[in-house]
């Protein structure tokens, strides 16, 4: 339906804004993951350890989740 399409576009915009608001270190990991890069490729591209990749991704997901919960409220 048209309403569903509008809601989906709003969610997409809200997620884009949330991703742009992330610190650069977290945003880079999220963007690479969204583009289909695996853990090893993300790690190698950013020249970080696997632990750093996992921490950045975890923190980014937490921030994105908080943002989207506020958006949905």
Mean pLDDT over 60-68 rounds to 96
Evaluate whether 59 touches 26 at the Cβ level (below 8 Å): yes
pLDDT for position 71: 85
Asked if pLDDT for residue 73 goes beyond 80, the answer is: no
Asked if pLDDT for residue 63 goes beyond 90, the answer is: yes
- Nearest-Å Rg of the Cα atoms of the chain is 14
Evaluate whether 37 touches 68 at the Cβ level (below 8 Å): no
Report the chain's terminal Cα–Cα distance, integer Å.
Answer: 22
Residues contacting residue 68 through CB under 8 Å, at least 6 positions apart: 11, 14, 15, 18
Encoded tokens for 73: 């409220």
pLDDT for position 52: 98
pLDDT for position 72: 83
For residue range 10-52, list pLDDT tens digits in order: 999 999 999 999 999 999 999 999 999 999 999 999 999 999 9
């Amino acid at each position: 339906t048209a309403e569903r399409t509008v809601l989906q576009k709003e969610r997409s915009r809200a997620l884009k804004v949330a991703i742009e608001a992330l610190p650069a270190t977290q945003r880079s990991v999220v963007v690479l993951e969204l583009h289909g890069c695996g853990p090893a490729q993300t790690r190698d591209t950013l020249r970080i350890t696997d632990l750093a990749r996992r921490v950045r991704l975890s923190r980014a997901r937490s921030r994105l989740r908080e943002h989207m919960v506020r958006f949905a409220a």
